[in-house]
Amino acid sequence: MSGYPAVYLPWARLKYPGPSPQVISSQTGLVIDGYTRSATTFAVHAFQLSQEQPVRLAHHLHASAQLLTAARRGVPALALIREPRGAILSQLIREPKKELRDALAAYSRFYIRLLPYRGSFVVGEFKEVTHDFGAVIRRLNAHFGTSFAEFVHTETNMRECFDLIKLRGTGSPTLLGFESGTVSRDQLRRELPALARRPMLDAEEAWIPSGNRERAKAALDEQWRRPSLARLRDRAAQAYQEFLAG
């Protein structure tokens, strides 16, 4: 269902009334989305921290319908992608009830569905997004004729970005509104002391890299390498390569 906008988006608007995730609308200035665990949270925070004025973002649906709609409407869109093993094993740690077989199939479906529209997106690969996001924003501006400010990977900027991501587990409407562009950077910064005192509703390490998560991924490696999953692994790898190649 998540690949079919006419069916999925009305349902998503009911399930996600805001402030985050955010469904594409007539107010959307940019879509940032991709398969889950592909640096969406980092990209959203790094992008908004770079802008003098907040930009209305549609983000975090992890549904191809969101990006398909952006392509059909001509809305600027950044499609995020991560190599299958990294994305899917991270997903299984975050969603332990998810079957590896189902996740492999969902990953392939997500990007295969988008392939006919590939020219309508700028693609951000996980490693580039997390290490040189300014270059990704530069490509967005060149492709869509926008003038978004570029993120600079300084130690200070990275620390601020990850400090905010750690607070995502509080469920703060201010922080989530900042993600979607309804709360300004200055307003968020003013409210940070109070925000930091809020209780965590979700584990902070679910949103940022951690040694525990890397060890858990290593423990899943035997399951990943099962011969019975070879065809699904190959299909996911092919979808990854074809989407990157455009």
User: What's the mean pLDDT when you consider all of the chain?
Assistant: 93
Classify 181 in phi/psi space as left (phi over 0), alpha (psi -120 to 50) or beta.
left
φ/ψ of 224, rounded to 5, equals: -60, -35
Bin 150: left if φ > 0, else alpha if -120 < ψ < 50, else beta. beta
User: Which segments of the chain does DSSP mark as H helices, in order?
Assistant: 5-15, 40-50, 64-73, 84-94, 100-114, 126-131, 133-144, 155-166, 173-180, 185-196, 211-219, 221-224, 230-245
Look at residue 204 in the predicted model and tell me its pLDDT.
Answer: 46
User: pLDDT category, 197, cuts 50, 70, 90?
Assistant: confident
Determine contact, residues 192/30, Cβ cutoff 8 Å. no
Fold type of domain 5-245? Rossmann fold (3.40.50)
Q: What is the pLDDT of residues 206-245, one digit of tens each?
A: 555 656 666 777 778 889 999 999 999 999 999 999 999 9
Domain residue spans in the chain?
Answer: 5-245
Element (H, E) at 59: strand 57-59
Q: How confident is the model at residue 167 (pLDDT cuts 50, 70, 90)?
A: very high
34 three-class SS: strand
Looking at residue 215, its pLDDT comes to 74
pTM: 0.92
Mean pLDDT value of segment 178-203: 88
Which is more confidently placed, 216 or 156? 156
The predicted-structure confidence for 15-31, as pLDDT tens digits, reads as follows 998 899 999 999 999 99
Do residues 13 and 69 make contact, with C-beta atoms less than 8 angstroms apart? Answer: no
Q: Would you state the pLDDT for residue 201?
A: 67
